[in-house]
């Protein structure tokens, strides 16, 4: 009797108020169902009609589903047979929820997750996707446009009989403004030649800081041609000695009757005395007479004559370079008292100075220019003559140190050699401005030892761990790996604890542990760092409480920042989790009840992911 009365009451309520609530006295919709239990002791939910895909197919013949059933929802327990996947059931190919769309006269999956990544299909209209500053990468396989079978040798296969490939078009000013162009980068320059003639251009420089844009257009720039190359009148600048790496030696070869066209770079190896290469940079001929300049590099195999057969601009000839014996020598080199002037070198900061290395027992003979490079620096000993007795070798040092490391600089002269030790310091203020942003990033985690080299992952760089939204140190690199006494696993700081502004205009709060002038980065700022700088890693990957040597690196244009894989302190008890394998770095951005972290393990795995605010993670600061 009670069940009958309840049914009558429900029906009466529905007719009186137009809404029905189950386990809910105040329904907010036509039907509002509230779970009776919330502790998992009883099954809760709504069970819709269950039917097989073949039963839906059988219903087609009787016109069971039509306009009156538009929006009907059912649960398919078994997909329709392959032969029955036609008509209304053409899409009923998996277990799950389906709804009937009378407009298309088909059953459609609900939340099936189908897209062009996991199923074939056809676009029904134009689609636009905004990347919103994010990168989209495809790993493995090949891509075809106009073909579903891209050539096995091609990463990208564009196939068409009526359409072409259109590279980015820009002015010469815009082309030269590209930051750190990669070798092989291609664009179309609209005004690089006379009368605003355009041309496809390619950067042929290996140094992104010094691009070398070359033309690929034969119609606008003619191919180079000369009447003759006069190798007989070639002249050599500098001296070449057997067994010594050549430095600063060039050969100038005249030509006559140039047509003003272009010629490509080329390299020619020596015969007779081997081990040498004559390199010609590509360029443009004069309209008339001119000369080619070839740089000689390598280490000659012996004293004698090196012969180079060259072919440039349609003509061929041969020139020779004398190779003398190297007779200059000293009794000893004193690298221990070698001196740099200026004395200090900083990573990422241009340096011009000298390195003076004392010697004893010089024999008074002359020597050629000697040169070598290390860590972004070029060491050049100008050609000269040894003292008879004691003296100094004075190297000119130029360039920008690429890394803050302890350099071991090899000095070899005649029969003697030694090593000069020199440490390149980190950035003077401990910050770096990476590509894509004007904000300076700290090179150190909060709590790290700022006297340590910020580019070599060691224990001193790991720093402190903080629970989100607080400025209280939860642990540091020396805290034992086990649970922490008094750990607050339920800590849940409110939104805006680390940013009282917006994502676009963040404002530092009193809870922010960063020093004066710095704050915790937003999710957007980490995204900018990740999308505009090259990803790498340092050290050996492996989860271990004593592995302090693995780190993620970001580099761009000679600049670098590293993030040690310090792991984190787990929400359950505060124990150490995944040191040496994963890095977790808090952002100031909330993620519903969680907060976002920059998380990485081995490249290319990196993400901005939400974590409970009770975890304790590393913190890196960015300038306000």
Last residue of a domain, one of 324, 343, 358: 324
Q: How many CB atoms lie within 10 A of CB 252?
A: 14
Tokens of 247: 């430095």
260 and 285 Cβ atoms separated by less than 8 Å: yes
Whether 145 is covered by a domain: the verdict is no
In 3D space, the residue among 435, 607, 438 whose CA is nearest the CA of residue 532 turns out to be 435
Boundaries of domain holding 9:
2-31
Residue 285 CA: distances (Å) to CA of 88, 223, 319, 353, 490: 72, 9, 20, 37, 75
Give the CA count within 13 Å in the CB-facing half-sphere of 469. Answer: 20
Same domain for 482 and 355: no
Domain check: are 261 and 179 in the same one?
no
- Same domain, yes or no: 491 and 377: no
Pair 441, 339 in one domain: no
Q: Is the pLDDT of residue 6 over 90?
A: no
Among 433, 424, 483, smallest CA distance to 456 is for: 424
Residues 75, 51 contacting (CB under 8 angstroms): yes
Q: 192: pLDDT confidence band, cut at 50, 70 and 90? A: confident
User: Is it the case that residue 451 has pLDDT exceeding 90?
Assistant: no
Confidence at 219, pLDDT banded by 50, 70, 90: low
In a domain, 156, yes or no: no
> In the chain, count of helices (H) and strands (E)?
4, 49
DSSP state of 514: S
pLDDT score, position 579: 97
Backbone angles phi, psi at 56, to 5 degrees: -65, -40
CA–CA dist 200, 186 (Å, integer)? 7
Q: How confident is the model at residue 24 (pLDDT cuts 50, 70, 90)?
A: confident
More confident residue, 113 or 94: 94
314 and 367 share one domain: no
| Range from 88-92, 403-407, 607-611, 620-624 carrying the lowest mean pLDDT | 403-407
Per the CB < 8 A criterion, the answer to whether 235 and 251 are in contact is yes
The reply to whether 251 and 339 lie within a common domain is no
pLDDT in tens, 339-392: 999 887 877 788 999 999 999 999 999 999 999 999 999 999 999 999 999 999
Does residue 358 sit within a domain?
yes
The answer to whether the CB of 492 falls within 8 A of the CB of 614 is yes
Same domain membership, residue 363 and residue 318: no
For residue 393, what pLDDT band results from cuts at 50, 70 and 90?
very high
Structure tokens, 54: 């073949």
* Residue 15 belongs to some domain of the structure: yes
**3-class DSSP state of 524:** helix
119 occurs within a structural domain: no
- Of 373, 391, 423, the one marking the end of a domain is 423
Question: 12 CB contacts (<8 Å, ≥6 apart)?
Answer: none
Question: Rounded CA gap, 557 and 181, in Å?
Answer: 9
Query: Is residue 105 domain-shared with residue 183, that is, in the same domain?
Result: no
Q: Are residues 337 and 318 in the same domain?
A: no
Q: Would 54 be classed as within a structural domain?
A: yes
Q: Give per-residue pLDDT as tens, 509-544.
A: 999 999 999 999 999 999 999 999 999 999 999 999
Residues 21, 61: one domain? Answer: no
Rounded Cα–Cα distance for residues 492 and 497 (Å): 10
Residue 160 lies in a domain: no
In this model, does residue 195 exceed pLDDT 60? no
Could you tell me if 463 and 396 lie in one domain? no
3-state helix, strand, coil in the chain (%, to 5): 10, 40, 50
Report pLDDT for 196. 63
pLDDT of 453 reads: 83
Q: How many domains does the chain have?
A: 6
Order of strands, sheet of 304-312, starting from the edge strand that comes earlier in the sequence:
240-241, 315-324, 304-312, 271-272
The whole-angstrom separation of Cα 491 and Cα 472 is 12
User: 152, 180, 215 — which closes off a domain?
Assistant: 215
Residues 191 and 237 in one domain: no
Q: What distance, in Å, lies between the first and last C-alpha atoms of the chain?
A: 72
**Tokens coding 488:** 């607050």
CA distances from 324 to 275, 301, 366, 486, 508 (A): 14, 11, 11, 78, 68
Q: What CATH number did the domain enclosing 317 receive?
A: 2.60.40
- Sign (positive or negative) of CA dihedral 372, 375, 376, 377: negative
Does residue 85 lie in a domain region? yes
Least confident of 403-412, 523-532, 560-569: 403-412
> CA 484 to CA 572: how far, in whole Å?
10
Average pLDDT, the chain: 89
Give the pLDDT confidence of 234-291 residue by residue, as tens digits. Answer: 999 988 999 888 988 999 999 999 988 878 778 999 999 999 999 998 888 998 999 9
* Nearest by Cα to 328 from 391, 250, 273: 391
Task: Say how far apart CA 478 and CA 484 lie, in whole Å.
Answer: 12
């Amino acid at each position: 009797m009670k069940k009958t009365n309840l049914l009558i009451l429900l029906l009466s309520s529905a007719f009186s108020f137009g809404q029905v609530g189950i386990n809910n006295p105040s329904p907010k919709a036509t039907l509002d169902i509230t779970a009776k239990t919330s502790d998992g002791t009883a099954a809760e939910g709504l069970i819709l009609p269950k039917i097989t895909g073949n039963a839906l197919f059988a219903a087609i013949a009787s016109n069971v589903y039509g306009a009156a059933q538009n929006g009907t929802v059912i649960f398919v327990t078994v997909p329709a047979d392959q032969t029955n996947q036609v008509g209304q059931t053409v899409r009923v190919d998996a277990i799950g929820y389906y709804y009937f769309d009378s407009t298309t006269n088909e059953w459609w999956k609900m939340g099936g997750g189908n897209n062009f990544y996991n199923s074939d299909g056809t676009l029904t209209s134009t689609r636009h996707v905004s990347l919103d500053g994010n990168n989209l990468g495809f790993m493995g396989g090949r891509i075809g446009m106009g073909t579903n079978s891209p050539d096995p040798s091609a990463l990208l296969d564009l196939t068409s009989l009526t359409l072409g490939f259109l590279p980015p078009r820009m002015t010469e000013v815009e082309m030269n403004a590209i930051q750190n162009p990669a070798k092989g980068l291609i664009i179309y320059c609209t005004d690089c030649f006379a009368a605003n003639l355009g041309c496809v251009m390619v950067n042929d420089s290996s140094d992104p800081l010094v691009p070398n844009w070359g033309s690929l257009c034969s119609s606008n720039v003619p191919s180079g041609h000369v009447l003759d190359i006069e190798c007989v009148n070639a002249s050599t600048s500098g001296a070449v000695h057997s067994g010594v790496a050549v430095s600063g030696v060039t050969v100038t070869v005249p030509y006559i009757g140039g047509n003003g066209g272009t010629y490509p770079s080329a390299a020619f190896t020596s015969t007779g005395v081997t081990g040498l290469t004559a390199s010609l940079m590509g360029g443009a001929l004069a309209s008339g007479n001119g000369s080619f300049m070839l740089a000689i590099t390598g280490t000659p195999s012996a004293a004698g004559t090196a012969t180079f057969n060259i072919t440039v601009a349609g003509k061929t000839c041969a020139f020779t370079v004398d190779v003398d014996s190297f007779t200059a020598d000293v009794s000893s080199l004193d690298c221990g008292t070698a001196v740099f002037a200026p004395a200090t070198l900083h990573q990422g900061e241009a340096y011009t100075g000298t390195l003076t290395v004392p010697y004893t027992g010089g024999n008074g003979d002359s020597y050629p220019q000697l040169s070598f490079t290390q860590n972004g620096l070029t060491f050049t000993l100008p050609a000269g003559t040894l003292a008879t007795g004691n003296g100094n070798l004075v190297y000119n040092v130029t360039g920008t140190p690429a890394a803050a490391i302890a350099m071991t600089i090899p000095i070899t002269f005649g029969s003697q050699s030694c090593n000069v030790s020199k440490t390149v310091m980190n950035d003077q203020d401990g910050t770096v401005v990476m590509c894509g942003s004007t904000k300076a990033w700290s090179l150190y985690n909060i709590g790290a030892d700022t006297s340590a080299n910020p580019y070599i992952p060691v224990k001193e760089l790991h720093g402190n761990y903080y629970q989100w939204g607080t400025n209280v140190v939860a642990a540091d690199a020396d805290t034992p790996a086990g649970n922490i006494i008094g750990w607050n696993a339920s800590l849940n700081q409110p939104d805006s604890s680390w940013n009282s502004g917006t994502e676009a205009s963040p404002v530092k709060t009193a809870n922010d542990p960063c020093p004066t002038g710095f704050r915790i980065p937003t999710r957007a700022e980490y995204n900018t760092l990740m999308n505009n700088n090259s990803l790498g890693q340092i050290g050996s990957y492996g989860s271990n409480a004593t592995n302090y040597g693995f780190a993620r690196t970001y580099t761009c244009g000679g600049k670098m920042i590293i993030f040690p894989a310090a792991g984190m302190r787990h929400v359950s008890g505060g124990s150490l989790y995944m040191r040496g394998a994963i890095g977790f770095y808090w952002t100031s951005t909330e993620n519903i009840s969680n907060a976002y972290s920059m998380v990485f393990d081995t490249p290319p795995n990196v993400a901005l992911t939400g974590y409970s605010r009770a975890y304790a993670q590393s913190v890196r600061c960015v300038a306000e």
